Amino acid sequence: MNLYEHTIIARQDASPSDLKQLTEKYSKIVEKNNGEIIKTENWGLLNLSYLIKKNKKGSYIHFKIKCNGKVINELEKNESIDKKLLRYLTVRVKKFDLDANYFSKKEDLDKDNK
């Protein structure tokens, strides 16, 4: 089994329930194909570097997945036809960094340090 970090960017007008549905939809695809979701992170609404399909912002969802390459092919095939998504990216990694939380709010970090 290989380790992958997979990020999707949903449209800026997606509601929180839409984001939850997207997360569940793609998690089920991975699990149905004998993959395993190690961690899911919702990075929130972030500015895009450039306009994508007339959107200035996008809602980022990040998955840490343990699976084989066929699962990633199936995942990306479904994402390429999804109108709610702007972009997706999959990167194969040697090991997961489960400790760092790069996109947490500054207030959350202050609470953790106390």
Tell me the domain boundaries of the chain.
2-94
DSSP class of residue 107 equals H
pLDDT in tens, 21-45: 999 999 999 999 999 999 998 988 9
pLDDT in tens, 67-107: 988 999 999 999 999 999 999 999 999 987 777 777 766 55
- pTM of the predicted model as reported, rounded to 2 decimal places: 0.83
Flag whether pLDDT at 113 surpasses 80.
Answer: no
Question: Looking at domain 2-94, what is its CATH homologous superfamily?
Answer: Ribosomal protein S6/Translation elongation factor EF1B (3.30.70.60)
Q: Which residues contact 76 (CB under 8 A, 6 or more apart)?
A: 88, 90
Q: Nearest to residue 63, comparing CAs of 19, 11, 111?
A: 19
